[in-house]
Structures are given as C-alpha cells and as structure tokens.
Amino acid sequence: MAVAAQTDLLDKHADTLLELSHVLAAAGEVSEANSAATQALNLYQRKGNLPGARESLRYLAQSAHT
C-alpha cells in the first residue's frame, strides 16, 4: 500500500484499502476495518469513482448494523 499511496492510482489504492477492510473485519479488527473502508471511500470520492464510493458506503453501512 505504501507504493500505491505515492502514485496517482487512487482507484487501485482505494481497491486495496477496501479489500483490506474485509480481511480486517474477518480477523475481528472492526475499528481498523472501518478506518480502511473510510479511507477507500475518500479516495474513490477524490477520483470521482461513484461505483467504488457506493461499494465503500455499502460496506460501512453493513458494518454499522453488525
């Protein structure tokens, strides 16, 4: 992720963060998972990637209800 953060590949960085959020949630690290998903959402929004932003919001909404 450190390499992705240094590039303009915001979508790839956001994709990685969103995947990380799923892994962290499966490991019981809910707070860290939500943080990664929120970071992904911010990057998707900066890039104007609406589908990615919606996916992040869906994840965060589901996480809030579990």
What's the pLDDT tens digit per position in 41-56?
A: 999 999 999 999 999 9
Residue type at 52 in one-letter notation: G
This prediction's pTM:
0.85
**Cα dihedral sign, 54-5-39-8:** negative
Closest CA to 29 of 41, 21, 19, 37: 21
Residues 11-35 have pLDDT tens digits of 999 999 999 999 999 999 999 999 9
Residue 3's pLDDT is what?
Answer: 54
